[in-house]
Amino acid sequence: MLIFCCSFSPLLWAGQLDLFIQRVKVECPRAQALLVKKSLIEMIKGDETCQERYLQLLLAECQSLSCSDLVYIYKIAKEQSSGTVMGR
Amino acid sequence: MLWRFVFVFFFILGAIDPSWAIEPEKSLEERLTDLELQSLSHRIQTNLEMNVLGGYFQNEHHRNQDATVRNVHFKNNIRLKFKGDLNPSFRTYVSFQVNYLFNDDLQTSENITDERTTSVFGSRPYLRTGYFDWNLLGDNLIFSAGRLPTVYGPPEHLRMGRDRQGTYPSMGYNVPLDGLALTYCLVPLLHNWGAHFTGRTVYMPGSIANRQDPHEAAPLSERDPRSFSDGHEGFTQMFEYEVARPTSYFDRFLAIWQLSYLRLGAFKERKGVSKGVNYSVYLDGGTLARMYNTAFHLELHRIFKTRFDFYGSYMHSWTKPSGTMMTSYPDFTGLPDEEYGQFISDGDTQGNRYLLGTRFHFKKSHLGLEYWASSRYPIPNDLYSDDLVALGQFFGKIGHIYYNYEFFKNQMRLKLGYFYIHEEKDFSDGFVNNSRQRIQSVYTGISFEI
């Protein structure tokens, strides 16, 4: 039996960039989009310890987010845009 | 006079080649607009993965004979992936893969077939995935269709030190399958806590026909051209619960339960020559077998904030063969056809297979241990792997130790490993037979993604 969920989620699946920005904005609404994008670039380049400049700025801007939170959001966005699991 | 000459020279040069003239710098908005136009015109993203392995093998009682075979093999796996977003609600994914052993066809060409159960096709690429996801109700109901990502599923990604590469637990099914799927979130409120509870229903139809003329069915044999194969049909129901946000108990949790049914239709008649005698093998009915299996997979990462991961998979299967495989000898018209046997074994069979594994994390690497075991007659459906050998295809007991070291900011991995296979049964030509092969291998490999 299919269970139809009642809410229409605003988080439509999109590319990795959009997914990452949307999820960070949910956690930290005041984060500037340009700062989030530059932080994503640093994560794509392999920084998973948040040592790079813009990641540090983003963490300072968003006290509710930790480095492990950002890594989690990044990995989820990457997996969900990879096509390795159907329906994600 | 000289400076006049220089002035005239550059004046003339500027008239001939306008690029020498100084152009006004583009504004920031113009440059951003150029970038936006570029990204709109390049809507297909590509990704390349490569995995090269080499290993030393020793196989005692090779093919159940008192002979020990030793050799060295290198294997190359190359995966080219494409992703296209028509819009945020419609995405398509296509990937091609090549798995081959180095230079295995240098002298003698292997027969390259389309057999889906053969995971090493040689240097000819095959379609690994080719499907779309269509969000019908936001992210709460998604329709997928095509060649679905049913290979290289969990826990292959843990063994290889990378992100999850497939949907099904590999013990559930690890064969490329085409189908239609609905994925639906069951409790959307869990998203607020970084958790997902997802249901997935998959339908897998298949037909055996003349590819050029699909309106024509395939006869079972030349002797009986009016009997036809029933085709294939399968259903899978999956439930998946994942917590990807770190908690005090684990950094990540994944549990998958899957129930599958597959009716395999009769195969097309196969002809060959043995010791100079022509023969053909066919099925005396439209259905080869009906198979049921249930599989469960569990992963826990960094349990209680330690450096340990734990993972395990279990599969139980039931096989109900329908038709009987027959052998005929066309050169001997008076000779009756022989019963060759039924799929896996004569009569109904069942069996199980399980895997237990653990990983210990260092700063930039991890060490893993695995133990596999099977009993009775489990369906041989765990067939694909980027490893040198797909360990899931074996019946018996297997011990495996591996070490993955990540460098270049986790974009490349170096792997070392050893496995020992105590084979108790062997699946070939549609049957499970006893085996006493003892296979061990030391191997190494490099994998990377671009």
pLDDT per residue as tens digits for the range B135-172: 999 888 999 999 999 999 999 999 998 889 999 999 98
Categorize the per-residue pLDDT at B447 as very low, low, confident or very high, splitting at 50, 70 and 90. very high
Is residue B13, in this structure, part of any structural domain at all? no
pLDDT in tens, B46-90: 999 999 999 999 999 888 888 999 999 999 999 999 999 888 889
Residue B87's Cβ-count burial label (10 Å; 0-12, 13-18, 19+) is: exposed
Average pLDDT over residues B337-360: 91
Percent of chain B with pLDDT over 90: 49
What is the secondary structure of B97-166 as a DSSP string? EEEEETTTTSSS-------TT-S--EEEEEEEEEEEEEESSTTSEEEEEEEE--SS-TTHHHHHTSS---
Q: Is there a contact between B137 and A5 if contact means CB atoms under 8 Å apart?
A: yes
B219: how many CB neighbours lie within 10 A of its CB? 17
User: For every residue of chain A, which 3-state class applies, written as one string?
Assistant: CCCCCCCCCCCCCCCHHHHHHHHHHHHCCCCCHHHHHHHHHHHHCCCCCCCCHHHHHHHHHCCCCCHHHHHHHHHHHHHHCCCCCCCC
For B341-383, give the secondary structure using H, E and C. Answer: ECCECCCCEEEEEEEEEEEEECCCEEEEEEEEEEEECCCCCEC
Find out whether B260 and B318 touch, Cβ atoms under 8 Å: no
Longest dimension (CA), chain A: 50
CB contact under 8 A, B164 and A12: no
Q: What mean pLDDT, rounded, does chain B reach? A: 87
ipTM of the complex: 0.78
Classify burial at B39, counting beta carbons within 10 Å of its beta carbon; exposed 0-12, middle 13-18, buried 19 or more: exposed
Q: What is the DSSP letter of B408?
A: T
> Shortest Cα distance from A79 to chain B (angstroms)?
7
Tell me: pLDDT of B215 over 80. no
Per cent of chain B over pLDDT 70 is 90
The least confident of A37-51, B221-235, B324-338, B390-404 is B221-235
Closest Cα partner for B385 from B154, B146, B58?
B154
Here the CATH number for the domain that contains residue B148 is 2.40.160.10
Closest residue to B164, CB basis, from A11, A15, A84? A84
Residue B357 inside a domain? The answer is: yes
Which residue of B183, B186, B411 is in closest CB contact with A86? Answer: B183
B122 in any annotated domain: yes
Q: Whole-angstrom Cα distance, residue B342 to residue B431? A: 7
Do A79 and B164 lie within an 8 Å CB cutoff?
yes
Cβ pair A2:B184 closer than 8 A:
yes
Q: Which residues of A touch B133 (CB under 8 A)?
A: 13, 83, 86-88
A5: exposed, middle or buried (Cβ count in 10 Å: 0-12, 13-18, 19+): middle
Q: Are A12 and B135 an interchain contact pair (Cβ–Cβ within 8 Å)? A: yes
pLDDT band at B115 (very low <50, low <70, confident <90, very high): low
* B412, B396 contact by CB (below 8 A): no
**C-beta separation of B354 from B312 below 8 A:** yes
Comparing A44-48, A50-54, B84-88, B118-122, which segment has the lowest mean pLDDT? B118-122
Quote the pLDDT of residue B174: 92
Task: Give strand pairing partners of B80.
Answer: B48, B96
Strand partners, B209: B217
DSSP string for B193-251: GTEEEEEEEEEEEE--B-SS-TTSBPBS-SS-TT-B---EEEEEEEEEEEE-S--SS-S
CB distance A10–B188 less than 8 Å? Answer: no
Greater confidence, B291 or B11? B291
First to last CA, chain A: 20
pLDDT at residue A8 above 80? no
Interface contact B140-A48, CB threshold 8 A: no
Closest CB from A2, A5, A84 relative to B188: A5
Q: For residues B20 and B367, which has the higher predicted lDDT (pLDDT)? A: B367
Interchain contact, A87 vs B138, CB within 8 Å: no
Measured between beta carbons, the chain A residues lying within 8 angstroms of B47 are: 82
Using CB atoms, pick whichever of A3, A14, A82 lies closest to residue B85.
A14
Closest A-chain CA to B179: A86
Tell me the pLDDT band of B351, cut-offs 50, 70 and 90. very high
Which residues of A touch chain B, with CB atoms under 8 Å apart?
2-5, 7-15, 18, 45-48, 68-69, 72, 75-76, 78-79, 81-88
Q: B86-100, B106-120, B333-347, B413-427: lowest mean pLDDT where?
A: B106-120
Tokens of A37: 């994008």
In this predicted structure, which of B107-116, B348-357, B406-415 has the lowest mean pLDDT?
Answer: B107-116
B18 pLDDT above the threshold of 60 = no
Cα dihedral B164, B142, B129, B378 sign: positive
| B88: chain A residues, CB-CB within 8 Å | 12-14, 18
> Is residue B56 assigned to a domain?
yes
Distance CA B147, CA B149 (A): 7
- Structural domains counted in chain B: 1
Q: How many CB contacts within 8 angstroms connect chain A with chain B?
A: 118
Q: pLDDT higher for B208 or B81?
A: B81
**Contact B184/A11, CB-based, under 8 Å?**
no
Chain B residues with CB-CB distance to A15 below 8 A: 45, 85
Domain that holds residue B404: 45-216+232-268+287-449
Give the confidence band of A12 by pLDDT, cuts at 50, 70, 90: very low
Of A41-55, B95-109, B208-222, least confident by mean pLDDT is B208-222
Polymer length of chain A:
88
Please provide residue B428's backbone torsions phi and psi, each rounded to the nearest 5 degrees.
-155, 145
Check residue A15 and give its pLDDT: 65
CB contact (8 A) between residue B201 and residue A83:
no
Q: Taking CB atoms and an 8 Å cutoff, what residues of chain A touch B137?
A: 4-5, 8
How far, rounded to the nearest angstrom, does the alpha carbon of residue A47 sit from its chain's CA centroid? Answer: 14
Does B41 have pLDDT greater than 70? no
- Taking an 8 Å cut-off on Cβ atoms, the answer to whether B201 and A3 are in contact is no
| B324 CB burial (10 A radius; 0-12, 13-18, 19+) | middle
Q: Could you give phi then psi for residue B174, rounded to 5 degrees?
A: -140, 60
Residues in chain A within 8 Å Cβ distance of B45: 15
- Cβ of B201 within 8 Å of Cβ of A2? The answer is yes
What secondary structure letter does DSSP report for B429? T
Q: For residue A5, is pLDDT > 60?
A: no
Asked if residue B34 belongs to a domain, the reply is no
Q: Which two tokens stand for residue A17?
A: 């960039």
* Chain B partners within 8 Å of A81 (Cβ): 83
| φ, ψ for residue B429, nearest 5 deg | 55, 30
CB distance B182–A87 less than 8 Å? yes
Q: Which of A38, A43, A5, A36 is nearest to A21 (CA)?
A: A36
Contacts of A11 in chain B (CB under 8 A): 138-139, 191
Q: Tell me the per-residue pLDDT of B376-389, one tens digit each, with 9 for 90 and over.
A: 999 988 889 998 88
The predicted model gives B122-141 an average pLDDT of 90
Rounded to 5°, angle at Cα A79 from A78 and A81: 70
**CA B417 to CA B409: how far, in whole Å?**
22
Closest approach of A9 to chain B, Cα-based (Å): 5
Which band of pLDDT confidence, cut at 50, 70 and 90, is reported for residue B318?
very high
- Vertex B272, ends B269 and B278: CA angle to 5°? 105
pTM across the whole model:
0.84
Q: A86 vs B200: CB contact, 8 Å cut-off?
A: yes
In a domain, B24, yes or no: no
Please state the domain extents for chain A.
16-80
